[in-house]
């Protein structure tokens, strides 16, 4: 039996574990699930004959080292900041390792030692980062092999609610960490390239600079810019590219309404509100509006942010009960972002039976034989239920597939790396098709960054 150690039994691991369990007999696998909560680990082990749940506190050196020493490959599904302890042990005991997280500086620093020992530390092989890297590089390499030159790359991903569960005015529910949604886009300006010009969007304008995306069969979406588009220039070898943009997908109208929270200051996370515990939702709203001896919170808000009387945004605010003078915040020393998160969780939590949806959209512009062309590639994945979600599927499957290939020595390129090599992305993208994760490619006229198709 080959031992696969999975550390961290969080939301995203259900599909990953099931993949290993389904292959356990044919691939001769023993799956060891380690978590700080033995109950979580046992739930995922699910009495499966080849699965074992163990208590694993990643900060307890002994239990961590024992588990790693015992394993044939290590999959770390911990929050990103905890990988490094696992990685150091994997180096010490010469184990290969797979994570779905961005390569941290500390992780990158291990590269030369990892190479020396001929180990594979594969990272960024979940959804985003992960499937985005693989699906993009497959098309980019194909165009290059044909002799084409990439001049535009735009890439968008969103974790949304499935159409059949889309029951609120925001067309949004929390299908992942709510906190990350509330503070999304903070911490600096978004930077990207449009037709050879560097562009910068400050946080407070991020949700007013969206663009539309159409996905056949699913209608229209919108996307706002991610902060870090430019780093993909060197990773993908796109030094001469004219347009490079990455963004986050929402349903149309979300960003315009979300911008109300940003403008008010409700997403701020760097100070706490006085007396937050005893404040009502209405008080919370009012703390961002000027005092008036006469005017209502409602009118002050409409005036301040120039919201017309018949604007649909207003109904979105009402749906969240933001003007309710009776509902209490009930969190002491809370930041605005923490309070807003609580208010949103009242309404945006998935109901039993709700399904999630992942949408990914790539645009590739290129020059081939003197002609400018464009390929758009889209992928939509819908969850089964609240355990086997689209998020858990698209994050977990590529991790599991990569781990099995590395265990089987089908992929042996050593070093701290991300999945941008053909030898890893081709077989995994192929296998993902068996799970319904497929990209639909459309050839289009190249318009450059010109979403409205305007002639100059």
> Residue from 168, 186, 194, 373 that binds a copy of itself (CB under 8 A)?
194
* 263 near a copy of itself, rule: CB under 8 A: yes
* 212 near a copy of itself, rule: CB under 8 A: no
CB of 251 to a copy of itself, least distance (A): 21
Per-residue contact string for residues 319-338; x = within reach of a copy of itself by CB under 8 A: -----------------x--
In the bound state with a copy of itself, the residue whose beta carbon lies nearer, of 263 and 373, is 263
> Residue from 147, 188, 219, 436 that binds a copy of itself (CB under 8 A)?
188
Stretch that binds a copy of itself, among 119-127, 169-177, 273-281, 437-445 (CB under 8 A): 273-281
Total binding residues toward a copy of itself, as defined by CB under 8 A: 42
Stretch that binds a copy of itself, among 23-31, 195-203, 347-355, 360-368 (CB under 8 A): 195-203
Q: Using CB under 8 A, which residues numbered 150 to 179 contact a copy of itself?
A: none
In the bound state with a copy of itself, the residue whose beta carbon lies nearer, of 21 and 243, is 243
Stretch that binds a copy of itself, among 143-151, 183-191, 384-392, 407-415 (CB under 8 A): 183-191
CB of 428 to a copy of itself, least distance (A): 34
In the bound state with a copy of itself, the residue whose beta carbon lies nearer, of 282 and 405, is 282
> Residue from 268, 307, 331, 350 that binds a copy of itself (CB under 8 A)?
268
* 455 near a copy of itself, rule: CB under 8 A: yes
* 341 near a copy of itself, rule: CB under 8 A: no
CB of 336 to a copy of itself, least distance (A): 7
CB of 322 to a copy of itself, least distance (A): 16
Q: At what angle do helices 390-407 and 422-433 cross, to 10 degrees?
A: 130
Q: Using CB under 8 A, which residues numbered 373 to 432 contact a copy of itself?
A: none
Q: Which residue has the tokens 């184990």?
A: 95
> Residue from 71, 264, 395, 397 that binds a copy of itself (CB under 8 A)?
264
CB of 239 to a copy of itself, least distance (A): 13
- The residues with which 149 forms a beta bridge, in sequence order, are 367
* 454 near a copy of itself, rule: CB under 8 A: yes
Region of residue 42 (phi > 0: left; psi between -120 and 50: alpha; otherwise: beta): alpha
Footprint of a copy of itself (CB under 8 A):
188-189, 191, 194-195, 197-205, 209, 243, 263-265, 268, 270-271, 273-275, 283, 286-294, 336, 448-450, 454-456
């Amino acid at each position: 039996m080959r031992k696969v150690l999975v550390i961290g039994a969080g939301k995203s691991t259900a599909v990953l574990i099931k993949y290993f369990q389904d292959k356990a007999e044919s691939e001769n696998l023993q799956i060891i699930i380690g978590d700080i909560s033995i109950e979580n680990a046992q739930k995922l082990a699910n009495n499966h004959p080849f699965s074992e749940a163990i208590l694993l506190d990643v900060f307890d050196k002994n239990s961590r080292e024992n588990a790693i020493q015992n394993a044939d490959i290590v999959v770390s599904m911990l929050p990103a900041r905890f990988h490094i302890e696992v990685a150091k042990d994997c180096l010490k005991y010469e184990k290969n390792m797979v994570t779905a997280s961005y390569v941290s500086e500390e992780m990158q620093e291990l590269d030369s030692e990892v190479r020396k020992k001929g180990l594979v530390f594969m990272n960024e092989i979940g959804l985003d980062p992960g499937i985005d890297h693989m699906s993009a590089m497959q098309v980019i390499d194909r165009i290059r092999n044909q002799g084409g030159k990439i001049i535009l790359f735009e890439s968008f991903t969103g974790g949304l609610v499935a159409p059949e569960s889309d029951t609120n005015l925001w067309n949004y529910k929390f299908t992942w960490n709510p906190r990350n949604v509330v503070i999304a886009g903070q911490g600096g300006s978004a930077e990207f390239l449009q037709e050879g010009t560097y562009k910068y969007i400050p946080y407070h304008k991020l949700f007013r600079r969206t663009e539309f995306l159409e996905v056949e069969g699913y209608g229209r979406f919108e996307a706002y810019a991610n902060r870090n588009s430019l780093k993909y220039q060197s990773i993908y070898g796109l030094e001469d590219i004219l347009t490079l943009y990455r963004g986050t997908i929402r349903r149309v109208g979300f960003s315009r309404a979300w911008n109300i929270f940003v403008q008010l200051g409700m997403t701020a996370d760097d100070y706490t509100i006085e007396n937050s515990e005893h404040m009502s939702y209405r008080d919370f709203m009012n703390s961002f509006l000027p005092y008036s001896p006469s005017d209502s919170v409602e009118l002050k808000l409409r005036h301040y942010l120039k919201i017309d009387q018949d604007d649909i945004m207003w109904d979105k605010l009402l749906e969240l009960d933001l003007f309710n003078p009776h509902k209490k915040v009930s969190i002491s020393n809370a930041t605005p972002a923490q309070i807003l998160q609580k208010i949103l969780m009242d309404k945006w939590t998935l109901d039993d039976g709700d399904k999630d949806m992942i949408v990914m959209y790539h645009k590739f512009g290129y020059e081939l034989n003197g002609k400018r062309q464009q390929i758009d590639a889209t992928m939509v994945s819908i969850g089964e239920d609240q355990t086997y979600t689209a998020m858990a599927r698209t994050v977990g499957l590529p991790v599991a597939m990569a781990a099995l290939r590395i265990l089987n020595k089908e992929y042996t390129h050593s070093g701290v790396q991300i999945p941008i090599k053909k030898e890893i992305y081709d077989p995994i993208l192929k296998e993902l098709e068996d799970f319904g994760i497929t990209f639909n490619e459309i050839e289009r006229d190249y318009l450059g960054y010109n979403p409205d198709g305007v002639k100059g």
